Amino acid sequence: MVPHEDSSLFPRSAGDAAADDAPLDLAASAALIETQRARVAAATDLDARLLFGVWGAAWLVGFAALYAVALDPPLLGWPAWSAGALFAALLVAAMVVTAVHIASRSKGVRGVSSRAGAMYGWGWGLSFGGVAALGSALARAGASAEVMQLVMTVVPALLVGALYMVGAAMSGSRTQFALGAWIAAVTIVAATVGAPGILAVMSVAGGGGMLVGAVLEQLRRRRMSPRADR
Amino acid sequence: MVHELLDPVIHTQSRLRIMTTLTALRAGDRLTFPRLQGLLDATAGNLSTHLRKLEDAGYIAVTKAHVGRVPITYVEATRAGRRAFEDYTEQLRVLLTPPTGAAGPTEENR
């Protein structure tokens, strides 16, 4: 019989404070640590499956739509602007999902990681502000539609690859690094293919690659913790 | 009595869960009181009681700040707290590992 160390501090009449201070056995302690660690990780870690999934789907469908209307003759009878609008809407939706997910997972956490996250976020925001400025500058300078499409596909995609790799260096995530390197490599190949094939490459290999990344992340989680995510 | 080897400040259900939660964060990260409460399903009163004991032991630091007029309480594991938790988990691992050549924890341990 093991008397409880704190029994004098927690009279039985103190209600729940006494009840959850009941003596722990060793196996129960170990199980409790494991359960609570898993709970904290599930509540505060970003879910790469969700993020890779929404961005992969947006690229896959959006670039495919651009490709379908860019072909001669077009695969889809849509006006060209509607494919661009669809892609823009998909990207905005992915951004909203990402922002909501990050806000909910990092809620109430302050300190080193929220500072690092804010810096990383500014890195994305300023880079893509620059891409938007480049796009409007090229349009003002009279760039052709083909030049615009090449630049506005290659530059943002390279940035995504680079920022994924940098983010992976911060978090130590091999999956994220591999995905960033894959996107950069796909973009290099796509750039050499040129219009309109670049759009097909970005859709299938870029968007598809991110979806494969989401699946690999699911498999990694299942391997790490056989009982989770069933 | 094996439990004598385990830090009594940590070795209770509530405080073990609090320390597990706070040390699961990166060193230098802190949690707001409501977020910690949510991760533990604890009542505010019960959580405060246990936080005070951990703070008295020097295992956690409680800081208060204001965002506008709203007071916010932050809780984080101190370096001493992280070390104590590591020692606790190490002791636990040793106690749960049967000594080689013997048939697990024996009567003489109790």
Average pLDDT in chain A: 88
Determine what percent of chain A is predicted with pLDDT higher than 90: 71
Going by C-beta distance under 8 Å and a sequence separation of 6 or more, which residues neighbour residue B87?
B7
Pick the residue with more confidence: A16 or A192?
A192
- Among partner residues A2, A17, A113, which is closest to B26 by beta-carbon distance? A113
- Among partner residues A22, A39, A114, which is closest to B13 by beta-carbon distance? A22
Q: What is the pLDDT of residue A128?
A: 96
Cβ <8 Å between A26 and B2: yes
- Which residues on A lie below 8 Å from B34 (Cβ)? 108
- Tell me if A114 sits within 8 A of A122, measured CB to CB: no
pTM: 0.81
Cβ <8 Å between A36 and B31: no
Going by C-beta distance under 8 Å and a sequence separation of 6 or more, which residues neighbour residue A93?
A54, A58
Cβ <8 Å between A26 and B27: no
Classify domain B2-97 at the CATH topology level. Answer: Arc Repressor Mutant, subunit A (1.10.10)
Using alpha carbons, list the distances in angstroms from residue A198 to A207, B13, B103. Answer: 13, 58, 67
- Which residues on B lie below 8 Å from A2 (Cβ)? 1, 3
Q: Residue A228 above 80 pLDDT?
A: no
Q: What is the pLDDT of residue B104?
A: 46
- Which residues on A lie below 8 Å from B16 (Cβ)? 24, 29, 32-33, 36
Measured between CA atoms, the residue of chain B closest to residue A39 is B39
The B70-77 sheet, strands edge to edge: A109-111, B29-32, B70-77, B60-67
- Tell me if A83 sits within 8 A of A68, measured CB to CB: yes
Domain ranges of chain A: 1-44, 48-224
| Coil/strand/helix, residue B60 | strand
Task: Give the tokens for residue B94.
Answer: 């040793």
Which segment of A24-38, A170-184, A214-228 scores lowest on mean pLDDT? Answer: A214-228
What's the angle, vertex CA A115, arms to CA A124 and CA A211, rounded to 5?
45
- Which residues on B lie below 8 Å from A41 (Cβ)? 24
Chain B residues at the A interface, defined by Cβ less than 8 Å, are: 1-3, 6, 8, 11-14, 16-17, 20-21, 24-32, 34-36, 38-39, 43, 46, 49-50, 74, 76, 89, 92-93, 95-96
pLDDT band at A57 (very low <50, low <70, confident <90, very high): very high
